[in-house]
Amino acid sequence: MAKTRNTARDDTHFGEKTVPLADKQGLVDDVFHSVARRYDLMNDLMSGGLHRAWKDALVSAVHPPKNERDFALLDLAGGTGDVAFRVVEAGGAGTRVTVCDINEEMLSVGAERAINQGLDDRVCFEQGNAEELSYPDRSFDCATIAFGIRNVPRIDRALSEAYRVLKHGGRFLCLEFCSVDVPGLEALYELYSFQVIPRIGQAVTGDREAYRYLVESIRKFPKPKAFARMMEQAGFRRVSFTPMTGGVVALHSGWKL
Ligand SMILES: C[S@@+](CC[C@H](N)C(=O)[O-])C[C@H]1O[C@@H](n2cnc3c(N)ncnc32)[C@H](O)[C@@H]1O
């Protein structure tokens, strides 16, 4: 019998290349392994500090209780814990965050930061794949993913898993870049993304290709309306998105009702 060949459905994008779906995760892991130690500095340099304002908007939407009430947040693809630290600082004594990321190197940078900031009793770092979470159903009050979903090969699985582990009444929030298609601004954005960012990446992390992948992956990510439909298909209700900074980034929201 003839061997089954990969169909287009088994392929996905990795930057500008088309790669077998099964290979994408390993390639993504190499990118974050390579940049982990300089990741936070690069975020500031690449976004001119804007990522802080975008994350502040995410934290406001998470709206952790200020009092002692228990509040469990799962921060998916949480990397070095930037969102997690902001949420525990905004919340009261009952706010706890589990940072789940597939990459050990990113997690260990975050775990060191937690110890240095005295937050290791409220933020824990656990290795896991967003497509296949080890947490029981209905474990968390809120789930977030910031600049992580476009790196996950099977987005539909990650959305279904986020839905599964949320409690009823829980909220899912996703911060992600969008491709800018405003004439004029688009050309400037392309120039910055493809000429400036990889050069900064080369200078700071020594890895120009990693940053080429990161900007190319933004172009391949579904438009906000298409992503909103994917969230609805995963079961989320009252799905909405808020564009920020001229549509460079969107904050997506959905509820498990
Ligand atoms: C651009 S970083 C974002 C980190 C953090 N959320 C932030 O905003 O600073 C993307 C993260 O996604 C993680 N990641 C990629 N694929 C993943 C997967 N399948 N499951 C969990 N994490 C994943 C990477 O290891 C990396 O830490």
Give the pLDDT confidence of 209-255 residue by residue, as tens digits: 888 888 888 888 999 999 999 999 999 999 999 999 888 899 999 99
Measured distance CA(59)–CA(199) in Å, rounded:
31
pTM of this structure? 0.91
Give residue for tokens 């391949």.
220
Distances in Å between the alpha carbon of 172 and those of 131, 168, 243?
A: 15, 11, 16
**Closest ligand 1 atom to the C-alpha of 78?**
6
Give the pLDDT confidence of 14-28 residue by residue, as tens digits: 766 788 888 888 888
Ligand 1 centroid distance, CA of 1 (Å): 41
Q: Looking at the DSSP assignment, which residues form a beta bridge with residue 132?
A: 129
- Any atom of ligand 1 within 6 Å of the Cβ of 217: no
Residue 158 sits at the vertex; the CA angle it makes with 127 and 234, to the nearest 5 degrees, is 150
* Residue of minimum CA distance from atom 13 in ligand 1: 77
Measured distance CA(238)–CA(23) in Å, rounded:
34
- Any atom of ligand 1 within 6 Å of the Cβ of 81: no
Q: Are strands 11-14 and 17-20 parallel, antiparallel or unpaired?
A: antiparallel
**Closest alpha carbon to 58 in 169, 143, 164:** 143
Q: Between 237 and 181, name the one with better pLDDT.
A: 237
Pocket test for ligand 1, best of 45, 86, 103 (most atoms within 8 A of CB): 103
**Closest ligand 1 atom to the C-alpha of 55?**
8
Q: Looking at the DSSP assignment, which residues form a beta bridge with residue 17?
A: 14
**Closest ligand 1 atom to the C-alpha of 36?**
27
- The backbone torsions φ and ψ at residue 114, rounded to the nearest 5 degrees and listed phi first, read -60, -45
* Range from 37-41, 90-94, 138-142, 145-149 carrying the lowest mean pLDDT: 37-41
